[in-house]
Amino acid sequence: MDFIDMLRAAERTNRSLLCVGLDPEPARFPGAWKGDPSRIYEFCAAIVDATQDLVIAFKPQIAYFAAYSAEAQLEKLMAHMRAVAPQVPVILDAKRGDIGSTAEQYAKEAFVRYGADAVTLSPFMGYDSVEPYLRHPGKGAILLCRTSNPGGSDLQNRRLADVDGQPRVYEHLASLAQGDWNRNGQLGLVVGATYPEEIARVRELAPTVPLLIPGVGAQGGDARATVQAGYRADANGITGLVIVNSSRAVLYASSGDDFAAAARQAALATRDELNAARGA
Ligand SMILES: O=c1ccn([C@@H]2O[C@H](COP(=O)(O)O)[C@@H](O)[C@H]2O)c(=O)[nH]1
């Protein structure tokens, strides 16, 4: 099944727009695991087991594994997610971006080594840096568009003087992802929950592209405003999906031995809040 079909199936089966982000920080692990990078797999697997029926996707952030030379634990975690939650797509948050020949290797890393269903990319180097990912049939490529951090404005909100209508950079990217760049319907966009007006603008320019929206929870984004700005459905079903990510607020809901149960409660509350905002 391809990435978009998996998203739709997980959304239906789990009645969810929530993506749980897997950003394991050993310093925040519970009890005897605290500070121990060899527990990264066990910690993340416990979170996956506790939330797999509540999510539209999982999003491991590769930096949290690479920083501890824990790539083998990430491989094991990918296999675990496939085994316990085959219905849930996995988005590898890697934010890669490089010339085509190097991008080919990064695409193999994401889709072959780790078996991810989609990967996040920086589109800064242009279409030829994105195209190698699109050669993997059915896999998703999710482009940074209007990121959740304040510094996102430094470049993404600048206007492009030589493009008709002088759109902002993020607006131009949204148009490209809806149109010329999206040759096989594999593209998605990252838009921060911290900027709901920009989510609405992206949705206007890219009505059918799935939006990965980090920034609720620890970054303070408003779940209700996020869904209202980005989610679209009509009588025939969902026309514009949102994948709303929360990482730290779920992972570290408790620092005690009840961390997995607490993560489940946090995920459940966020899922229900997102559903209430779309009237589901
Ligand atoms: O614009 C962006 C793009 C990616 N991220 C990533 O999402 C999670 C957010 O974690 P929280 O703990 O829920 O704040 C993290 O992996 C970021 O690298 C983002 O925050 N904003």
User: Average pLDDT in the 38-49 region?
Assistant: 98
- pLDDT tens string 266-279: 999 999 999 999 99
95 given a catalytic annotation: yes
Q: HSE (CB half, 13 Å, CA atoms) of 59?
A: 26
Q: What is the CATH number of the domain that holds 39?
A: 3.20.20.70
What residues pair up with 60 in beta bridges, in sequence order?
A: 22
Domain that holds residue 221: 3-277
pLDDT of residue 251: 98
Q: Which of 59, 95, 108, 139 is catalytic?
A: 95
Which of 19, 202, 245 gets mutated to test ligand 1 (max ligand atoms within 8 A of its CB)? 245
Task: Domain count for the chain, please give it.
Answer: 1
pTM: 0.98
User: In Å, what is the CA distance from 119 to each residue of 16, 49, 104, 134?
Assistant: 20, 22, 13, 11
Ligand 1 near 147 CB (within 6 A) = yes
Question: Could you give the CA distance from residue 192 to residue 194 in angstroms, rounded to a whole number?
Answer: 5
Which residue type occupies 53?
D
- pLDDT tens string 178-212: 999 998 999 999 999 999 999 999 999 999 999 99
* Rg, the chain, Cα only: 18
- pLDDT tens string 230-250: 999 988 888 999 999 999 999
Q: Within 10 A of 72 (CB to CB), how many other CB atoms are there?
A: 11
Give the rounded percent of residues in the chain with a pLDDT score beyond 90: 97
Distance 164 CA to ligand 1 centre (A): 32
DSSP letter (8 states) at residue 2: -
The SS3 call for residue 43 is helix
pLDDT grade for 85, boundaries at 50, 70 and 90: very high
- Average pLDDT value over all residues in the chain: 97
Q: Within 10 A of 65 (CB to CB), how many other CB atoms are there?
A: 24
Give the rounded percent of residues in the chain with a pLDDT score beyond 70: 100
pLDDT of residue 280: 87
Question: Could you give the CA distance from residue 239 to residue 233 in angstroms, rounded to a whole number?
Answer: 5
